[in-house]
């Protein structure tokens, strides 16, 4: 049996988990291709404009898998683990969004219910009829969880992103490099087309990037305890905890948050982090992307931000427009 995995949203982020799971079940795995303009053009025509770009891209990936004549498509439903932690409704309702947008039959999809324990995916319910016996499914789950844990451990140990580990690439690192804390949903940052190659551009500017996967969970949880009220978005918690850690870390020169236009959870997370950045006097850049964003424009903004960080590191004064700060101050002193 050929199972299709959309290379988008959480199925792309959890790819090491799902690949191992289906391999253990003896299925042939087909991963949809990289996103491109056509992917978003297809997705945009299927759902209302108000949807965020990752969901539109996801639909484009489903169409890609349909064209590859797979027998089944992975379409997990991300559900809440506890009462006070929620997934974005678009992720919980994704099976319905896809089925109704494309008018397809349920039998084409494999839609288990999945929770996230921190960064770890865990299957909590299988759809009926089950594709294999419960015992075989549980064994495959165990191996998939082990593979995921092993991949995350490598991220922390090698200080590399999940994508760099998957592609056997190294995260450049030297003591005098500019250190950037990079935040944003994995399914945007690691999608070359959607992120407009943010990671690659930062690499070409000779910066070292740190992402949430490289921060130990204890540090994330301890930062989250500083909040007066708990953060209730599931992945938003991770990004917020990692972001607070970057803002407090003297080794990190500046923080960049890449967010899709119209993302509900990010409207809270980004705001909280930008306020904290003002308090900690750490440069913070928010990049909002939609289907009309252009590579050149983004590159210029990243270059300007990194230039500013370089000036700050060299102790040069620079003008800062932000009303909370005095102008002409040194980065090391005040900004
Ligand atoms: S969390 Fe944001 S980017 Fe992700 S599906 Fe929801 S609205 Fe879209």
Atom of ligand 1 nearest to the CA of 264: 7
pLDDT of residue 330: 40
pLDDT of residue 319: 58
pLDDT score at 25: 96
Ligand 1: does its nearest atom lie under 6 Å from the Cβ of 186? Answer: no
Residue 330: inside a domain: no
Cut 0.85: pTM above it: yes
Domains in the chain: how many in total?
2
| pLDDT at residue 326, rounded to an integer | 43
Is residue 250 one of the residues assigned to a domain?
yes
Would you say the CB of residue 302 lies under 6 angstroms from ligand 1? no
Q: What is the pLDDT of residues 66-98, one digit of tens each?
A: 999 999 999 999 998 766 788 899 999 999 999
Q: What is the DSSP string of 185-243?
A: -HHHHT-TTTTTTHHHHHHHTTEEEE-GGGS-HHHHHHHHTTSSS---BHHHHHHHHHH
62 with 73: CB under 8 angstroms?
yes
- Quote the domain boundaries for residue 14: 2-156
What pLDDT score was predicted for residue 172?
67
Look at residue 317 in the predicted model and tell me its pLDDT.
62
Which atom belonging to ligand 1 lies closest to the Cα atom of 233?
1
Question: Is 76 touching ligand 1 by the criterion CB < 6 Å?
Answer: no
Residues 113 and 206 in one domain: no
Tell me the per-residue pLDDT of 130-157, one tens digit each, with 9 for 90 and over.
888 999 999 999 999 999 999 999 999 9
185 lines ligand 1 (CB under 6 A): yes
Q: Which residues of the chain have pLDDT under 50?
A: 323-335
CATH code at position 265: 3.40.50.11900
């Amino acid at each position: 049996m050929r199972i299709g995995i959309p290379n988008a949203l959480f199925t792309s982020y959890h790819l090491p988990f799902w690949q191992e799971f289906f391999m253990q079940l003896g299925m042939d795995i087909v991963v949809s291709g990289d996103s491109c303009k056509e992917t978003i053009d297809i997705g945009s025509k299927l759902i209302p404009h108000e949807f965020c770009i990752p969901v539109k891209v996801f639909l484009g990936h489903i169409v890609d898998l349909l064209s590859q004549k797979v027998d089944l498509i992975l379409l997990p439903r991300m559900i809440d683990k506890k009462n006070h932690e929620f997934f974005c409704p678009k992720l919980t309702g994704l099976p319905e969004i896809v089925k109704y947008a494309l008018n397809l039959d349920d039998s084409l999809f494999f839609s288990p219910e999945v929770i996230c324990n921190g960064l770890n995916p865990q299957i909590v319910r299988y759809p009926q009829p089950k594709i294999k016996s419960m015992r075989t499914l549980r064994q495959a789950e165990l191996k998939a969880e082990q593979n995921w844990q092993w991949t995350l451990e490598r991220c922390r140990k090698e200080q590399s992103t999940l994508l760099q580990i998957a592609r056997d690439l190294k995260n450049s690192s030297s003591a005098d490099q500019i250190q950037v804390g990079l935040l944003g949903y994995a399914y945007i940052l690691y999608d070359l087309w959607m992120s407009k190659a943010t990671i690659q551009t930062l690499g070409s500017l000779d910066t070292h990037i740190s992402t949430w996967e490289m921060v130990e969970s204890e540090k994330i949880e301890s930062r989250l305890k500083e909040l007066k009220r708990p953060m209730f978005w599931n992945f938003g918690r991770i990004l917020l905890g990692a972001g607070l850690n970057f803002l407090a870390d003297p080794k990190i020169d500046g923080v960049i948050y890449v967010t899709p236009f119209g993302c509900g959870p990010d409207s809270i997370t980004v705001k909280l982090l930008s306020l904290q950045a003002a308090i900690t006097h750490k440069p913070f850049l928010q990049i909002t992307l939609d289907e009309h964003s252009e590579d050149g424009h983004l590159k210029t903004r990243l270059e300007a931000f990194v230039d500013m960080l370089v000036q700050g590191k060299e102790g040069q004064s620079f003008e800062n427009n932000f009303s909370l700060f005095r102008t002409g101050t040194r980065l090391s002193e005040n900004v």
